[in-house]
Amino acid sequence: MRLRADLHTHTTASDGQYTPRQLVCRAQAAGIGCLAITDHDTTGGLEEGLRAGAELGLTVIRGVELGAKEDRHLHILGLGFGAEHPALEALCRTLQASRAERKFRIADFLREKGMDIPLAEVEALAGGGLVARPHFARVMLERGYVSSLREAFDRYLDTEEYQAIERFKAEAKDCIAAIHADGGKTVLAHPCQLGYPDEKLEALLARLKEVGLDALECHYPQHTRAQTAWYLKLANMYGLHVTAGSDFHGERVKPDVSLMPTELELDWLL
């Protein structure tokens, strides 16, 4: 089965701009036939998205994005797990508790840098969803502490110094195990963000394949043509399925990222 798909997107359940229903409507308008909602550390927006997909005739896949302990840019997507997903729920509860504690550390960290970022404003932007770094970045921008969201991350929220206050993350093998326990498939997201030389990335894929990795996100907005060709070759070498994802958050969060319908073979997932 070949469908125009986008298998990596975010909603207001984590750090996206649009509600699950709004995202599904935008996906349909973009010509997407299969959409995965992959919020960070939560499955809270899935049922709203699934209902909207059923109403609009668009296939919506249950998804989640989990950051792994080994590298701050190592993210595992879980796709297609069941309506009941106790292993993922247990892991997400632990991750969410760590996020809830982290927001106070981020506020203190930014205060030490001379920025008064009221948590009430950050939480209002989150709208009841998980508080994440993009919410802090938006308040930093609105208060004039930075000139762009990119600057907020490059100077403060994605630095080596910042990593000392980061939240708990599970190892990649434990993320993969939880997703598999609930009947899902696992994907290494945006390999370009790791910044690894070819040999190191290949070694990582070999290790992840050994613990059950199912697929590689070969098509991604930041990938060059050469990178995409290399990732497709790696997927073939290691027997991994090919996925595509925009990592769409909405134009207020990631102004240069749009939904990305890409034709994919999805028999392995649907």
- Token output for 50: 């699934």
- What is the band of 166 on the pLDDT scale with cuts at 50, 70, 90? confident
Q: What pLDDT, on a 0 to 100 scale, did the predictor assign at position 76? A: 98
Give the residue-averaged pLDDT of 37-64: 97
Residue 211 has a CB neighbour count (10 Å cut-off) of 15
Q: What pLDDT, on a 0 to 100 scale, did the predictor assign at position 12? A: 95
- What is the band of 1 on the pLDDT scale with cuts at 50, 70, 90? confident
- pTM listed for this prediction: 0.90
> At residue 165, does pLDDT exceed 90?
no
Q: What pLDDT, on a 0 to 100 scale, did the predictor assign at position 99? A: 87
> At residue 129, does pLDDT exceed 90?
no
> At residue 154, does pLDDT exceed 90?
yes
Q: Spell out the alpha helix ranges (H) of the chain.
A: 20-29, 46-56, 86-112, 119-126, 133-142, 149-152, 172-181, 198-210, 225-237
Counting residues of the chain whose pLDDT is more than 90, the rounded percentage is 93
CA distance 79 to 44: 14
Instruction: Identify the H or E element spanning 59.
Output: strand 59-67
Strands of the 75-79 sheet, one edge to the other: 241-244, 215-219, 185-188, 75-79, 59-67, 34-37, 2-6, 262-265
- What is the band of 40 on the pLDDT scale with cuts at 50, 70, 90? very high
Q: What pLDDT, on a 0 to 100 scale, did the predictor assign at position 44? A: 95
CATH number for the 1-270 domain, one of 3.40.50.11540, 3.30.428.10, 3.20.20.140, 3.40.50.970?
3.20.20.140
> At residue 205, does pLDDT exceed 90?
yes
- Token output for 152: 């907020």
Q: What pLDDT, on a 0 to 100 scale, did the predictor assign at position 265? A: 97
User: Looking at per-residue confidence, does 132 or 268 come out higher?
Assistant: 268
